[in-house]
Amino acid sequence: QKEVEQNSGPLSVPEGAIASLNCTYSDRGSQSFFWYRQYSGKSPELIMFIYSNGDKEDGRFTAQLNKASQYVSLLIRDSQPSDSATYLCAALGGSYIPTFGRGTSLIVHP
């Protein structure tokens, strides 16, 4: 059974701080990983994709992947109230069907 685990939160950070979101996965065959942002009642919005060990940066977002530890993280620098949402981690194996975690709720307070 492929599992992707995330702390449901909520994670509360002050505006301007770094938010750190974590995700672990069980399937060692997973090759690629996604981070989606989901506002309440809306569809998931792709914000990061990573497949190589190490860091990948895109604007205020940095995704980190450690395949040996089966661990993916997302850092959001200079957090804004508009970043308040649920962040979904997903792992993709050979079937091209991502397995999703339950998501971590992030609250950025002014």
Partner 1 sequence: EPEVTQTPSHQVTQMGQEVILRCVPISNHLYFYWYRQILGQKVEFLVSFYNNEISEKSEIFDDQFSVERPDGSNFTLKIRSTKLEDSAMYFCARFPRQVRDYTFGSGTRLTVV
Binding interface with partner 1 (CB under 8 A):
32, 34, 36, 41-46, 49, 51, 88, 90, 92, 95-103
d(CA 61, CA 78): 9
Nearest to 37, CA basis, from 95, 105, 109: 105
* Cβ(81)–Cβ(16) below 8 Å: no
State in angstroms the smallest separation of the CB of 57 from partner 1: 15
State in angstroms the smallest separation of the CB of 101 from partner 1: 7
State in angstroms the smallest separation of the CB of 34 from partner 1: 7
Comparison of 26 and 51: residue with beta carbon closer to partner 1: 51
Comparison of 42 and 77: residue with beta carbon closer to partner 1: 42
Comparison of 62 and 98: residue with beta carbon closer to partner 1: 98
CB-facing half-sphere around the CA of 46: CA atoms within 13 A? 7
Comparison of 52 and 110: residue with beta carbon closer to partner 1: 52
Tokens of 14: 């002050």
State in angstroms the smallest separation of the CB of 35 from partner 1: 12
d(CA 29, CA 33): 12
Tokens of 64: 């980190």
